[in-house]
Amino acid sequence: MVEKLKIIGGNALHGEVSISGAKNSVLKLMAAAILAKGETVIHNVPELTDVQIMLKVIEGLGVKTRYDKKSKSVAIDAADITSITAKYELVSKMRASFIVLGALVTRCKEAVVALPGGCAIGERRVDFHIKGLEALGADIKIENGYVHAKAPKLTGTDIYLDIPSVGATENLMLAAILAEGATRIQNAAQEPEIVDLANFLNAMGADVSGAGTSEIVINGVKQEDLHPIEYTTIPDRIEAGTYMAAIVATKGKGLIKNVLPSHLTFYNSKLIKMGANIKLIEPTVIEVSCNQRLNSVNIVTQPYPGFPTDLQSLAMAMLTTADGVSIITESLYENRFMQVPELRRMGADIHQERNHALVRGVKNLNGANVKASDLRAGASLIVAALMAEGESVIEALHHIDRGYELFETKFANLGANIVRYNDEDDISNSLNNHCQITKGNLNASI
């Protein structure tokens, strides 16, 4: 059955929403958990498709896992690793699973991990991962679509990344944990998820410093120095940015709870320039509101702490009805404007030339049938549908389910007219009648 999302737009969002654990962090923490023998427990783990895939990847290595939906916790018992192979059937579904390469190489001295292949938003090569592992002393061969890595001994060294790749930084951090001596990763990625991984590893007994800066130093430790831990994942800054965008775009007002505002500094500054009001209520609670037509702004995506590429599509959706002309430049991925044709179907005036998009604000968007091409493009279509006049239907929800936990419930809690259905459902009644759920009940479910 093909699931779809039906939205009646035009209503300002009001209420509050609590942000789940960071998808882009928890997946890497799950891979890192296999470094220590014994059971590690990770809290604040969202119930997402990507989390389920990563569980299957590490289970394929012989690791025992247990996910508790009620407590949002996952237990990973890596006392024994019985396989060094991460198969293509799973790695191809989610590129982030490639990070098990570094963890396997350093713990088991050998790994066979499928190449992740292409990606909807563009080519994401793994040559930085491979060159870094070779610099640490691993013997790498690529055969039949798999990376075969052998490393009887890894030795710390200086590694310079040509670009601050998040995945390469994380893979090399994991590989260097049990290397002999010190490893220095220069031009390292600085994302909050990198800091979260370093904090996790240090709690486990590793020696990592400099995370959050362009130079990370890992002093190798011995296997017996590592021990299982309990750890709580940071909130998802991209999910927070998504709900902020929806509230601002619909000229609403709401509280975003369980958020770390410092992770969204650059994004928040752009929202304020657009005309949004952002107020810190508590250290992890912000109030977001907007009562005017948005102003046009120019945006260039950059590695952290610059404007996040994962929020570029959300910004584009907001700017489709802004006053004036905005220019968005995507500097990180070549195919990350895949939401453009769908936004045009809703009446947006967007001219794209290679990695630049010129967005002329229109009076309003109109509801339409659209299809998500990837996770963040799908999120932008939800925001656009909430802004639009009339009814929209969004297809290919499996993309959105990869990164947003209970998203239709959370949007409904903000007052959105939104429902998930499949072609066999009886949706002859109006959406308003279909969505008569009290906020009190929704609050209990979040």
Q: By C-alpha distance, which of 318, 317, 363 is closest to 337?
A: 317
Measure the CA–CA gap between 297 and 291, rounded to whole angstroms. Answer: 17
In this prediction, residue 435 carries a pLDDT of 47
pLDDT for residue 444 is more than 60: no
The mean per-residue pLDDT over the stretch 29-55 comes to 97
Give yes or no for residue 261 having a pLDDT over 90: yes
Per-residue pLDDT at 148:
96
Q: 27 phi and psi, to 5 degrees?
A: -60, -40
Displacement of CA 164 from its chain's centroid (Å) = 17
Query: Is the pLDDT reported for residue 256 higher than 90?
Result: yes
Whole-number pLDDT of residue 336 = 84
Q: Residue 2: its pLDDT value, please?
A: 87
Q: Given this model, what pLDDT does residue 443 score?
A: 40
Q: What is the pLDDT of residues 158-184, one digit of tens each?
A: 999 999 999 999 999 999 999 999 999
- 């247990």: which residue's tokens? 66
The ranges assigned to domains in the chain are 3-20+235-445, 23-221
Tokens of 239: 């999910």
Q: Which residues carry out catalysis? A: 119
Q: Which two tokens stand for residue 83?
A: 């396989």
Q: What is the pLDDT of residue 439?
A: 40
For residue 77, is pLDDT > 70? yes
User: Alpha-carbon distance 168 to 187, whole Å?
Assistant: 11
Please state, rounded to an integer, the average pLDDT across all residues of the chain: 93
The least confident of 124-128, 141-145, 274-278, 363-367 is 124-128
| β-strand partners of 256 | 17, 286
**Higher-confidence residue: 111 or 439?**
111
Q: Is 41's pLDDT higher than 50?
A: yes
Query: Residues of the chain with pLDDT > 70: what percent?
Result: 93
pLDDT band for position 433 (50/70/90)?
A: very low
CATH class in words for 23-221 = alpha beta
Is residue 445 pLDDT above 50, yes or no?
Answer: no
- Give me the pLDDT at residue 266, please: 96
Average of pLDDT values for 189-217? 98
Q: What is the spatial distance between Cα 309 and Cα 382, in angstroms, rounded to a whole number? A: 18
Average pLDDT score over residue span 232-237 = 98
Superfamily of domain 3-20+235-445: Enolpyruvate transferase domain (3.65.10.10)
Average pLDDT over residues 211-238: 98
pLDDT at 139 over 60: yes
Please work out, in degrees rounded to the nearest 5, the angle formed at the alpha carbon of residue 180 by the alpha carbons of 178 and 182.
95
Residue 109, pLDDT above cutoff 60: yes
Question: Of the candidates 96, 12, 109, which has an alpha carbon nearest to the alpha carbon of residue 55?
Answer: 96
| pLDDT class of 1 with cuts at 50, 70, 90 | confident
Number of Cα atoms under 13 Å in the Cβ half of residue 398: 7
Would you place residue 442 in the very low, low, confident or very high pLDDT band (cuts 50, 70, 90)? very low
Question: Could you check whether 3-20+235-445 and 23-221 share the same CATH topology?
Answer: yes
The angle formed by the CA atoms of residues 49, 51 and 52, to the nearest 5 degrees, is 65
Q: Of 71-80, 84-93, 148-157, 196-205, where does mean pLDDT reach its minimum?
A: 84-93
Res 335: pLDDT: 80
> What is the reported pLDDT for 426?
54
